[in-house]
Amino acid sequence: MDWVESAGGPLLAAPATQLARWEGATDDEDDDAPVETWGDYGRACAVDGYIGLVGIGGAQGLVLGDEPATTTYLPEERLFLRWAAAESETELVHAAREAVRGVEWEEELDWDVDGAVVLFDSAWPGATPEPGNHLKIDLAPGRYRVRAAHTRDDRNWMILVQLQPVP
């Protein structure tokens, strides 16, 4: 299973058609300046909560915020699985598939996509995402209801972000 990691900031699921428009972090960012002034990366960092949207060209990217959790995508469940704590990948994936059936969703938003998206560390420019640390996700064009929740069982803690097509 492929996982995407962050160097400390949020992950971004950006439309593949708009990747070149995401500039990521710039060299001239001032650590003392408000994060909202840090360009594209700052806009992603400004998202409050588990999920949020940022404009990229004429489209929107989905920010996976809150904490820099290692993340994968389970296509059958249309689920971003964010690893907060677990002893093994196998246990975590199994726990996520069980949890998604009855979890109480904490946040929701609607997201319009034009097709495939690429998940990567938002600090990187979209034209050149970090080699070996990004994931292409094939989505049908359309509107999705995005739901997010933090959940855990005795051994696994995770953040779930599910995409549901809106008819």
The values of phi and psi at residue 75, to 5°, are: -65, -35
- The yes-or-no verdict on residue 34 having pLDDT over 80 is no
- The yes-or-no verdict on residue 31 having pLDDT over 80 is no
The percent of residues above 90 in pLDDT, for the chain, comes to 82
The whole-number average pLDDT for the span 116-126 is 95
Say what the pLDDT of residue 67 is. 85
- The yes-or-no verdict on residue 105 having pLDDT over 80 is yes
pLDDT digits (tens, 9 = 90+) for 51-100: 999 999 999 999 999 888 999 999 999 999 999 999 999 999 999 999 99
Confidence of residue 123 (pLDDT cuts 50, 70, 90): very high
82-86 long-range Cβ contacts below 8 angstroms, 24+ apart: 82/158, 82/159, 82/160, 82/161, 83/3, 83/158, 84/150, 84/152, 84/157, 84/158, 84/159, 85/152, 85/156, 85/157, 86/155, 86/156, 86/157, 86/158
pLDDT digits (tens, 9 = 90+) for 54-66: 999 999 999 999 8
d(CA 42, CA 94): 34
